[in-house]
């Protein structure tokens, strides 16, 4: 069999065809197909030519690849180089320690990403299905993987469309394309050619697309594209090929480069200083290696991995699957959250929320398709049985609703079979006390005209009390135009132009609030024969106002995000009025905010698209428009998180700094593209993730300040010994002991630090882990530690070098023990941070002290680290000197707090606030 590339080549080289803009006859001619379907032999030949009808997938990495992936980092490359240099110098133990740290880090990262990979595989619901095609003039059920261009699809309600196809005939055929286009309204299908060759996918009413669902009617369609050539396939292909870094990965890369150049500069300076002073080149090479070892925080990779893994664990408890460790922290840096409407802030469940009948305006409460809720008039709940208007509306809604609604226990979701609009009408009928099955028994169906995109209404004829009742629901303007009377006070009244205009104004008013308006009419004594061309006189009864239900807690979550300095914008493929009304309800749009639609974006020049960071609502947008919006925010310097559930969201999920997909209603393509998957589809979980991300950023910041301050302390000790012509106070193995063992457990425990005051503050978009203030802080700590250590070392170096070296090693260790309590907060005093609030840190400190004692008093460790035992007096001297790092940091924190207090006092007080 030919390769996939060669199979696709003929079609890739062919000129694209605007299938929606040509006739059915032309489509058959181009594909060399006929209305009886393909012959079996022809279908097999085309399968070889075009390949199987499957979507491209990113290869799933095995455990070995996941393990090797953990080493693909500039920081790890630097540590590997250091380990080889140390080994070449004969320090085998030191090299083994560095490699051991890297292997442990790789194992932790591999296990976490492997779990996410396995969970994602379990979520992958884009499974192979079957479809009905015409082959050799007969209907056959085949796997959708072997559908080929030229096949004739037979589509019925409930079918999943297996390929992109041109509609040949439609009998009330409509499809739910929300996963592809973002529009929640089912699209009625027609066989007529459309004049505009550049119509967006959402408006190609004579096409059906792979991955969408037939919700009503039936039809026949000619397959024009399969696999990667479909709309969904082209999007998936881009996702597989696309690669975008989350902010943390970029930050770590920058940090690694900074450390690398700093280490090289420090080594060169130390080497040059020693040679100038007359030291031998070979000796200074060893000293330079010691400096490199002191500056490279060997434990940093595993600490950062574990900090992120801890965040992943916390998010997992909140039903959020994190596919990449860095994604949690990236959300903490987000300045913009772009939310998709359908299925993200809404439940994608239509509900009748308003009813206008008999001149009265009723409000309806409930939760999507759940058949519970109340009906209110002037804020008072109405008893349906005592109200003729509600009984009429409920009966018509139930009679004209063919869809079924059932609760899926396993998924805890309401599932609809049929048209979502009719599902909403059925639920409303149940709220009014009309059960569909019982009503059909009392009023048997005589005749029915299914909804069609041409006539835009659904009519049913029923026998009730010896008469025929005609019930009609559909496009309100068309039904109103056909009505010669209107229903009021329990009777039909002649339709007047004034009454007709009043109804039109009511339709406009309801539509302006984002409601989908459906009109309904009746004829209580209809003739036995009716047709589309000869409808009897209608009595216009009223209007249903339907809306996509806002998810519970969305408004509160939006308000929380805004309080935390994060802008929330709504992006949708729906119409401007619908999206704006929903955004207002969610608290995203406020009076005065800008609303932009896709047509506005198309008219913008490349330069003016920078203004796309201003609006809070985007309507009628395509996937390409979403990418433009994201790029505008990126160029503005923002870090943007994008939520979504459909195929149309996939490219945006990849291109955004952080993609967040819905786990329950999201398509497999969206899940593949995302960095985080919300397993419970709860928008509020995004805000929880934001808080978690900011806490992780602060935790990493604390860890880095601690590690760099200790590294600088060690560096200044080495440089100080050269300046003052002292022997080298620390051996490379001792420096590794400090960096890996003495630092390791306490730093890990520091990552478990409870959230401190200020951890939830916004993270500046240009903020680095180590900024100028951090450098000043770490330098002060490093100088204090180096000064005390060199003083203690100098006092004993002339008497007993081994004892003096051990004193220096222990002094730096104790300095680090005290300093870790300094680093728990940027500005709060040690006495304010509640020493016993972090039990993990205190336990780690006890273990670390015991390990250091073993290094001094265990013969085996003495041989490895070249140490000697210390007396009780030595310990007292070291501890007393090491307290200087706490004293210095307390003075700095006091100055910071005083400056903040003066700044707060100088700010003007606004009256009434």
Please return the burial class of 413, using the count of CB atoms within 10 Å of its CB with bins 0-12, 13-18 and 19+. Answer: middle
Q: Could you please report the per-residue DSSP string of 525-579?
A: T--S---SSSPPPEEEEEEEEEEEEEPTTHHHHHHHHHHTT-EEEEE-SS-HHHH
- Residue 611's DSSP bridge partners are none
Give dist(CA 49, CA 61) in Å, integer: 29
Give dist(CA 12, CA 6) in Å, integer: 10
Over the range 351-377, which residues count as b (16 or more CB within 10 Å of their CB) and which as e? bbbbbbbbeebbbbebebbbbebebee
Residue 17 phi, psi (nearest 5): -110, 135
- The tokens describing 719, both together, are 């440089």
| Packing angle of the helix pair 872-882, 772-797 (nearest 10 deg) | 150
Give dist(CA 85, CA 190) in Å, integer: 72
Place of tokens 């003083």: 791
Nearest CA to 461 out of 444, 449, 447 is that of 447
Helix (H, G, I), strand (E, B) or coil at 779: helix
Place of tokens 């240099």: 85
Give dist(CA 326, CA 316) in Å, integer: 15
- The tokens describing 165, both together, are 């196809």
List alpha helices for 154-279, DSSP H: 178-181, 231-241, 247-276
- The tokens describing 346, both together, are 């809404």
Catalytic residue among 144, 159, 251, 340: 340
Please return the burial class of 463, using the count of CB atoms within 10 Å of its CB with bins 0-12, 13-18 and 19+. Answer: middle
Number of Cβ atoms within 10 Å of the Cβ of 433: 15
Give dist(CA 592, CA 615) in Å, integer: 10
H or E element: which one contains 750? helix 743-751
For CA atoms 805, 810, 816, 819, the dihedral sign is negative
Number of Cβ atoms within 10 Å of the Cβ of 115: 14
Q: How many helices (DSSP H) and strands (DSSP E) are in the chain?
A: 32, 28
In angstroms, the Cα distances linking 634 to 241, 255, 335, 687 are 20, 21, 10, 21
Nearest CA to 464 out of 444, 491, 489 is that of 444
In the DSSP assignment, the letter for residue 728 is P
With contact defined as beta carbons under 8 Å apart, do 815 and 785 qualify?
A: yes
Mode of pairing for the β-strands spanning 595-597 and 617-619: parallel
Please return the burial class of 263, using the count of CB atoms within 10 Å of its CB with bins 0-12, 13-18 and 19+. Answer: buried
With contact defined as beta carbons under 8 Å apart, do 648 and 182 qualify?
A: yes
- The tokens describing 518, both together, are 């459906």
Residue 340 bears catalytic tag? yes
- The tokens describing 490, both together, are 């329990």
Residues with catalytic annotation?
A: 340
């Amino acid at each position: 069999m030919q390769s996939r590339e060669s199979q696709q080549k003929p079609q890739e080289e062919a000129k694209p065809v605007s299938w929606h803009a040509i006739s059915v006859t032309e489509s058959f001619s181009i594909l060399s197909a006929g209305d009886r379907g393909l012959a079996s032999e022809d279908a097999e030949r085309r399968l070889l030519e075009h390949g199987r009808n499957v979507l491209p997938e990113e290869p799933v990495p095995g455990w070995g690849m996941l393990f090797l992936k953990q080493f693909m980092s500039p920081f790890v490359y630097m540590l590997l180089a250091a380990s080889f240099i140390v080994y070449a110098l004969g320090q085998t133990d030191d090299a083994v320690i560095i490699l051991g740290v890297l292997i442990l880090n790789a194992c932790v990262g591999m296990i976490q990403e492997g779990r996410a990979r396995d969970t994602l595989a379990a979520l992958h619901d884009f499974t192979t299905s079957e479809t009905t095609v015409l082959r050799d003039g007969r209907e056959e059920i085949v796997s959708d993987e072997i559908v080929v261009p030229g096949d004739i699809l037979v589509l019925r309600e409930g079918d999943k469309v297996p390929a992109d196809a041109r509609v040949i005939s439609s009998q009330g055929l409509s499809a739910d394309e929300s996963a592809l286009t973002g529009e929640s309204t089912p699209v009625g299908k027609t066989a007529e050619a459309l004049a505009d060759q550049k119509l967006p996918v959402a408006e190609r009413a004579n096409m059906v697309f792979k991955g969408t669902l037939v919700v009503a009617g039936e039809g026949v369609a000619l397959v024009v594209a399969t696999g990667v050539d479909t709309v969904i396939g082209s999007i998936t292909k881009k996702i597989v090929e696309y690669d975008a870094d989350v902010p943390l990965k970029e930050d770590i890369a920058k940090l690694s480069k900074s450390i690398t150049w700093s280490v090289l500069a420090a080594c060169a300076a130390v080497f040059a200083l020693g040679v100038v002073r007359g030291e031998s080149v070979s000796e200074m090479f060893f000293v330079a290696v010691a400096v490199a070892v002191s500056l490279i925080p060997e434990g940093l990779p595993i600490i950062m991995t574990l900090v992120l893994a801890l965040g992943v664990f916390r998010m997992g408890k909140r039903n959020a699957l994190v596919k990449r460790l860095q994604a949690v922290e990236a959300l903490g840096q987000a300045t913009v959250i772009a939310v998709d409407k359908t299925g993200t802030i809404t439940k994608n469940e239509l509900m009748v929320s308003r009813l206008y009948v008999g001149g009265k305006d009723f409000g309806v409460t409930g939760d999507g398709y759940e058949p519970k809720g109340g009906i209110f008039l002037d804020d008072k709940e109405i008893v349906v049985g005592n109200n003729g208007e509600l009984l009429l509306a409920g009966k018509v809604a139930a009679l004209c609703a063919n869809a079924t609604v059932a609760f899926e226990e396993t998924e805890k979701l309401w599932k609809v079979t049929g048209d979502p609009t009719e599902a909403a009408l059925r639920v409303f009928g149940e709220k009014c006390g009309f059960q569909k099955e019982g009503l059909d028994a009392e009023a048997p169906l005589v005749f029915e005209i299914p909804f069609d995109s041409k006539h835009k209404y659904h009519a049913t004829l029923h026998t009730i009390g010896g008469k025929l009742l005609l019930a009609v629901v559909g496009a309100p303007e068309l039904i109103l135009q056909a009505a010669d009377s209107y229903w009021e006070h329990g009777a039909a009244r002649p339709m007047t132009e004034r009454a007709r205009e009043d109804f039109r104004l009511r339709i406009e008013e309801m539509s302006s609030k984002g409601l989908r308006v459906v009109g309904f009419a009746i004829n209580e004594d209809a003739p036995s024969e009716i047709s589309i061309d000869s409808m009897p006189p209608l009595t216009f009864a009223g209007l249903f106002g339907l809306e996509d239900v806002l998810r519970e807690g969305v408004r509160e979550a939006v308000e929380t995000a805004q309080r935390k300095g994060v802008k929330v914008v709504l992006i949708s493929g729906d119409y401007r009025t619908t999206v704006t009304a929903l955004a207002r309800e969610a608290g995203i749009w406020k009076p005065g905010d800008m609303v932009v639609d896709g047509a506005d974006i198309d008219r913008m020049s490349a330069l003016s698209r920078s203004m796309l960071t201003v609006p809070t609502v985007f309507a009628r947008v395509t996937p390409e428009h979403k990418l433009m919006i994201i790029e505008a925010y990126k160029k503005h310097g923002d870090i943007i998180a994008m939520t979504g559930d459909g195929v149309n969201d996939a490219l945006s999920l990849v291109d955004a700094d952080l993609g967040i997909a819905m786990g329950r209603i999201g398509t497999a393509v969206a899940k593949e593209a995302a960095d985080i998957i919300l397993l419970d589809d709860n928008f509020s979980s995004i805000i929880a993730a934001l808080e978690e991300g900011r806490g992780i950023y602060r935790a990493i910041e604390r860890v880095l300040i601690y590690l760099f301050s200790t590294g600088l302390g060690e560096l200044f000790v080495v440089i100080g010994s050269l300046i003052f012509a002292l022997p080298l106070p620390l051996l490379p193995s001792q420096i590794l002991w400090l960096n890996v063992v003495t630092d390791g457990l306490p730093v890990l425990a520091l990552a478990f630090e409870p959230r401190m005051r200020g951890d939830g503050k916004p993270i500046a978009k240009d903020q680095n882990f180590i900024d100028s203030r951090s450098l000043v802080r770490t330098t002060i700590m490093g100088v204090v530690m180096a000064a005390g250590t060199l003083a203690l070392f100098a006092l004993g170096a002339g008497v007993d070098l081994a004892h003096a070296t051990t004193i220096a090693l222990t002094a730096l260790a104790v300095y680090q023990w005290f300093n870790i309590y300094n680093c728990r907060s940027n500005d709060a005093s040690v006495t304010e941070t509640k020493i016993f609030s972090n039990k993990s840190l205190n336990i780690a400190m006890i273990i670390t002290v015991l390990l250091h004692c073993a290094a001094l008093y265990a013969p085996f460790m003495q041989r490895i680290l070249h140490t000697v035992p210390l007396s009780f007096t030595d310990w007292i001297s070291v501890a007393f000197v090491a307290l200087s790092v706490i004293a210095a940091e307390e003075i700095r924190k006091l100055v910071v707090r005083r400056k903040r207090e003066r700044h707060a006092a100088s700010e003007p007080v606004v009256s009434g606030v």
